[in-house]
Amino acid sequence: MMERFEVNILGCGSALPTSRHALSSQVVNLRDKLFMIDCGEGTQLQFRFLKLKFQRLNRIFISHLHGDHCFGLFGLISSLGLLGRTADLHVHAQADAEKIFRPVLDYFCKELTYKVFFHAFNPTKNELIFEDRTLKVSTIPLKHRVPCAGFLFEEKPKSPHIIREMIDFYQVPVSRIAGIKAGADFVTLEGELVANRVFTRPAEPPRKYAYCLDTAYYEKIIPIIEGVDLLYHEATFSHEDIVRAKETYHSSARQAALIAQAAHVKKLVIAHFSARVTDENILLNEAREIFPDTILADEGIVLKV
Amino acid sequence: MMERFEVNILGCGSALPTSRHALSSQVVNLRDKLFMIDCGEGTQLQFRFLKLKFQRLNRIFISHLHGDHCFGLFGLISSLGLLGRTADLHVHAQADAEKIFRPVLDYFCKELTYKVFFHAFNPTKNELIFEDRTLKVSTIPLKHRVPCAGFLFEEKPKSPHIIREMIDFYQVPVSRIAGIKAGADFVTLEGELVANRVFTRPAEPPRKYAYCLDTAYYEKIIPIIEGVDLLYHEATFSHEDIVRAKETYHSSARQAALIAQAAHVKKLVIAHFSARVTDENILLNEAREIFPDTILADEGIVLKV
């Protein structure tokens, strides 16, 4: 069975919250560790509505310092304190974030029961900003009015699967299994060399998820997101509004699809809908003309990577 | 007909937002001018859901600097800018507010199309902090973990009503009517003095509304809120939890009712329910035992003052 790797959509509207869409935020769940991307106003409530577990959330990534992507941090951090959190919380954002947020947190959250660490990244570079045993997160430089980064979530390559029957057949001692997982061959008591491939099946290829908003159409991201399993790309406007999209450094649905197609991604989710868009199916159809495997983001949906 | 004077409840929960209640905020509507009191996270959305008009909102009063009462300011101020507001916005709060909020607004709202002014008040004094032609707003010092003020909204005394038939009967020229409204008698062409009371009926007595949260039971507010038409008082806990109420400087429903009774208010609304309270009718019944004319606050209700 594949380990859980999914994306929970908390909010997929653009700068103005509406009755249809909450502000930008989502939670990537990799093997029940939760990673938040962006945290617009109201995120803590959406988190609660989706019945996600606050204690599994340890790391937040902020794409850029526009209010609709980060004003929810104040309330979220504050409420985690009221809930008695003790585990550290890590916020990855541009360098200004700590300068701006820390004084507010120091003022309002004097009695915080846990520590908040800010980790600065450079949004103009494609670089690794976090890794643990199973995951790598790197930045995807985007093209917006202010410096803005997307995020690429990549599973690390997994150990091959052990074929239990062959282990039994060759009476491999337990102490040798870790070595075989790591690629070693096996020599039987009779001195026979048995190749590693006899005991193993290759693991599933590592899965990749890319988050790209807010951004104008920007071909430079294509090599970075090449072949990802799931691309979450903004489509603030329909292509009819391409002039406005360009002015505001946003993308049309058609442009999101062109990026998905050029990068050979497996699936595209479009999001960050302008409050002016009354029928999102227009965006969906526009994208599907170019990239058929497209869906619309919506609050509460869970996307498998 | 009485001019509109009503209170729209945007949020009446306590510090942790729940699926039942939003964070503290309400809008006092006096003759279609809107005055916001407190602005917890999510307030801009609640404002929108209640179909209130952003352009009629010019003044915000913040009771105290706890996040659940003011973190919504960032998003609200930001969105008003996106909506193209040009009118000044005035925020009345404790002196620290400007120090804390201004750098965030300067950073995130560089292109704001209107000005935000902070007006500092002293929460330890009962003093007038705003007045216009029809309204006076003064602070009500409360007893909380941090300095906290309630607000008393008082209509100014209104001019008496003119009795049209008597004006016609004595052939009072139009130029004299303002004087009669202001209390002058009238002398006819024949030299007859006609007393002012012949031409006027007294206006309705000015209405008063008092907002008191967050606060422990605090008898010193009683003379300030004496006889108000509507008292909005917190009742975070039931009296069973009086120990916790005291520890956290909050009130029980019973205590809210005792204050209402002692101050001879006309009507009590209880609010700021703890997330632990699963059945608010317990609070309601507890309060009604002492002060029968009590109701529960709830999001979306409109209270006539």
Look at residue A252 and tell me whether its pLDDT is greater than 90. Answer: yes
- Cα nearest neighbour of A21 on chain B: B45
Tell me whether strands A25-30 and A33-39 are parallel, antiparallel or unpaired.
Answer: antiparallel
What's the token pair of residue B295?
Answer: 């109701």
Nearest CA in chain B to A16: B79
Confidence of residue A172 (pLDDT cuts 50, 70, 90): very high
Is A117 an 8 Å CB contact of chain B?
A: no
Band of residue B111 on the pLDDT scale cut at 50, 70, 90 = confident
Q: Does the structure show a pLDDT above 90 at A129? A: yes
DSSP alpha helix (H) spans, chain B: 43-49, 67-70, 72-82, 96-108, 164-169, 177-181, 196-199, 222-225, 242-247, 253-262, 280-290
Rg (CA), chain A: 22
Q: Phi-psi category of A171—alpha, beta or left, where left has phi over 0 and alpha has psi -120 to 50?
A: left
C-alpha distance from B153 to closest chain A C-alpha (Å): 28
Q: Are the beta carbons of B100 and A96 separated by less than 8 Å?
A: no
Q: What percent of chain A has pLDDT over 70?
A: 100
Average pLDDT, chain A: 95
Question: In which band, very low, low, confident or very high, does the pLDDT at B15 lie, cut at 50, 70 and 90?
Answer: confident
Under the banding of pLDDT at 50, 70 and 90, the label for residue B1 is low
CB nearest to A71's CB, from B19, B74, B83: B74
- Model confidence pLDDT, tens digit, residues B114-157: 999 999 999 999 999 999 999 999 999 999 989 999 999 999 99
A41 → closest Cβ in B42, B66, B109: B42
Q: How many CB atoms lie within 10 A of CB B130?
A: 18
Query: CB contact, 8 Å: B8 with chain A?
Result: no
Residue B304 has pLDDT above 70, yes or no: yes
Average pLDDT, integer, range A92-104: 96
Question: What is the reported pTM?
Answer: 0.91
Q: What is the DSSP letter of B154?
A: E
What are the start-end ranges of the E strands in chain A?
5-11, 25-30, 33-39, 57-61, 89-94, 116-121, 128-131, 135-141, 149-155, 161-162, 186-187, 193-194, 200-201, 208-212, 230-234, 268-271, 294-296, 302-304
| Residues contacting B269, CB < 8 A, separation 6+ | B230, B231, B232, B233, B294, B295, B296, B297, B303
**Which positions of B are catalytic?**
68
Residue A68: active-site member:
yes
Question: What is the ipTM metric for this complex?
Answer: 0.89
Contact flag B68-A75 (C-beta cutoff 8 Å):
yes
Which residues on B lie below 8 Å from A66 (Cβ)? 108
Secondary structure of B67-83 in HEC code, one letter for each residue: HHHHCHHHHHHHHHHHC
- Grade residue A15 by pLDDT with cuts at 50, 70 and 90: confident
Catalytic residue among A38, A68, A214, A229: A68
Percent of chain B with pLDDT over 70: 100
Q: What is the pLDDT of residue A111?
A: 84
Give pLDDT tens digits for A130-169. Answer: 999 999 999 999 999 899 999 999 999 988 999 999 999 9
Nearest to B82 among A15, A19, A71 (CB): A15
| pLDDT recorded at residue B159 | 86
- Give chain A positions within 8 Å (CB) of B47: none
CB within 8 Å of chain A, chain B residues 207-246: none
Residues A178-193 have a mean pLDDT of 91
The pLDDT-based confidence of A199 (bands split at 50, 70, 90) is very high
Measured between CB atoms, which of A18, A49, A75 is closest to B67?
A75
Out of A41-45, B108-112, B257-261, least confident range: B108-112
Provide the pLDDT confidence category of residue A1 given band limits of 50, 70 and 90: low
Looking at per-residue pLDDT, the higher value among B89 and B276 belongs to B89
Whether B145 and chain A come into contact, CB under 8 Å, resolves to: no
Each residue's pLDDT tens digit, B30-44: 999 999 999 999 999
- Taking an 8 Å cut-off on Cβ atoms, the answer to whether A96 and B103 are in contact is no
Res A223 pLDDT > 80:
yes
Q: Please tell me the distance in Å from B42's CA to the nearest CA on chain A.
A: 6
